[in-house]
Amino acid sequence: MFKILLVEDEDLIRRGLEFKMNWTAVGCVVAGEAASGEEGLKKIEQLHPDIVITDIRMQSMNGLEMLRRGLELYPFHAIILSGYSEFEYAQQAIHLGVTEYILKPIDFDELKTCILKIINLRHQESQVTFDVNGPVSQLPDFRKVQNKYAKLMLQFIQEHYAERILLTDLSQELNVSCTHLNAKFKAETGYTFHDFLNYYRINRAVELQKAGEFKLYEIAELVGFSDYKYFNKVYKKYVGYSPNKILSTAK
């Protein structure tokens, strides 16, 4: 899976980006987020993201400066988000090799198109084919094994997230230790199995909220939470706000 880093100083916009896009459907996962350029630079060094999506205007270190310094540490593709259409910023972004420049308010269809374009570029660069379920590797055997386990675990979560599931269930089925599976999954996604399960469940909860057909306690049950209070706690941990807070991506 491709690792996404979101860098945006406004919490509502950053959370909206994380939970209004179905990242797993395009073979991606939000491996990290940052609220400033300085924090984003540290995350680039720590996470080695494949794609960095960043706002331009942030206090202290702006998005362009963060990208310039980040690209000196590690190669990645970048998407600039901005509420400002000044040609000066576009010129600087192009000079840095930024792949896409998107104006706010964000059009998520446009963002998805940008992500898929970058993924195709990366696959062309590494001669790897791609489908919506993730990369089909032509890399050395060790990487194939790593992708195999990560893909199986992801598929398991997608098919059973509404049920009560544990990593031990998959461990017994594959005859592989939980420790080994968790290590492979975290190397690929940046999450442990349990953390990604909750992350995926909350993503589905946000989608159900947008549909507006269910009450919150019903949504909690539909995505695998039998305890509504625990659902609230986990939702707030990942989204940053309680479930009744409306997510927004407008500045």
pLDDT tops 80 at residue 10: yes
CA distance 115 to 100: 9
Other beta carbons within 10 Å of 48: 15
Q: What CATH code would you report for 2-126?
A: 3.40.50.2300
Range(s) of the chain covered by CATH 1.10.10.60: 139-251
> Tens of pLDDT along 162-174?
998 888 888 888 8
CA distance 211 to 222: 13
Give the per-residue pLDDT at 240. 75
Q: Which residues contact 195 (CB under 8 A, 6 or more apart)?
A: none
CA distance 191 to 202: 14
> Tens of pLDDT along 53-109?
999 888 888 888 999 899 888 888 899 888 766 556 666 766 676 778 888 888 999
Range(s) of the chain covered by CATH 3.40.50.2300: 2-126
pLDDT tier at 40 (50, 70, 90 boundaries)?
A: very high
Question: What residues form DSSP beta bridges with 4?
Answer: 30, 51
Q: Which residues contact 159 (CB under 8 A, 6 or more apart)?
A: none
Which of these ranges, 18-22, 41-45, 113-117, 133-137, has the smallest mean pLDDT?
133-137
pTM of the complete model: 0.66
Selection from 45, 103, 39, 55 nearest residue 76 by Cα: 45
Q: Which residues contact 150 (CB under 8 A, 6 or more apart)?
A: 1, 134, 184, 185, 187, 188, 189
Q: What CATH code would you report for 139-251?
A: 1.10.10.60
